[in-house]
Amino acid sequence: MRLDYQLSEASLGDLATALAPLLRQSEHALENPRHGDFPRWKAILDQLPTVTPQAKLNRASVLLGAPPTDQNALKTLLMGLHPWRKGPLELGGIKIDTEWHSDWKWGRLEKHIGDLQGQRILDIGCGNGYFGWRMLGAGAKLVIGIDPTLLFVMQYFACRHFAGSALANVVLPLGIEDLPAGLSGFDSVFSMGVFYHRRSPIEHLQRLRKLTRPGGRVVLETLVIEGDMDQVLMPANRYARMRNVWFLPSSAALCNWMQRAGFSSVECVDETTTTTAEQRSTAWMTFESLAESLQANDQSQTIEGYPAPRRAILVANN
């Protein structure tokens, strides 16, 4: 399989000039990967069977591709891209029960993000691109996803194999720090599951604003704690066994931060405690998950003694 990014000028619009170098940079990164498992992952993609492309995106389990003759062989190949974290997905008739019920988050999100018809969207920390497929299903014209985790990019290419390359959803092997300083013009920018990993949260908010066109929208989804505008948790070391967790503000504090960063009409549209039904180990993600990150006798606390994961969705205008 050729690992390239072919997008029509019609889908790119006035972003074409700015995005062309990023697409070339991403293709070059995949030609010169720095990961020991890359040859194995690439071999899996090369063995995926030829199928009739199809895409049914307006459903909880995104369905991509018609089933091939040998379902068992396909399941073995897709299992070779373990762990599958965002979904659920159905690729060539194989149902992938991912670690996250990302469809539940989308259900909390979609009624608050308005009309995506014709939008060009940037999805930061997109994983394998699940939300990009849902955004296309909601009418988006283009979704540029970025995620530096190479396995997730390879999972995206597996998805695209079954969907066909015509759909304008891509996942680039990049982090937000790899985006050029002058890049701007997206109708909506999504940052989900990224904010608490940033050492400089206000700088992240300002970067999101610069990436968005005037009058555009930013959707921020992150871990929060309960409390008033003065409440912020900075873990001493790990949080729910996760490294690199820096700031968990209350949703009220985060609204204030976004306003101070220059956003208007900031609104917290959802706040939900993550349960072990939404994030859990499965046959497609056999490593330990949320249950092992909580105290056995009190699931309202992480094993470090902090409040259990609680996630908020904030929507703001640029």
Q: Where are the domains of the chain?
A: 15-317
With cut-offs at 50, 70 and 90, classify the pLDDT of residue 32.
confident
φ, ψ of residue 44 in degrees (nearest 5) = -65, -45
Note the pLDDT of residue 9. Answer: 86
Note the pLDDT of residue 114. Answer: 83
In whole angstroms, give the CA distance from residue 239 to residue 31: 36
With cut-offs at 50, 70 and 90, classify the pLDDT of residue 8.
confident
Give me the mean pLDDT over the 81-110 stretch.
98
215 dihedral zone (left: phi>0; alpha: psi -120 to 50; beta)? left
Give me the mean pLDDT over the 190-209 stretch.
97
Superfamily of domain 15-317: Vaccinia Virus protein VP39 (3.40.50.150)
With cut-offs at 50, 70 and 90, classify the pLDDT of residue 295.
very high
Q: Is the pLDDT assigned to residue 162 strictly greater than 90? A: yes
With cut-offs at 50, 70 and 90, classify the pLDDT of residue 34.
confident
Residues 6+ apart with CB under 8 A from 39: none
With cut-offs at 50, 70 and 90, classify the pLDDT of residue 166.
confident
Residue (of 209, 224, 306) closest to 273 by Cα position: 224
Cβ proximity of 261 and 202 under 8 Å: yes
In whole angstroms, give the CA distance from residue 154 to residue 143: 17
In whole angstroms, give the CA distance from residue 108 to residue 246: 25
Three-state SS at 44: helix
Q: What is the mean pLDDT of the chain?
A: 96
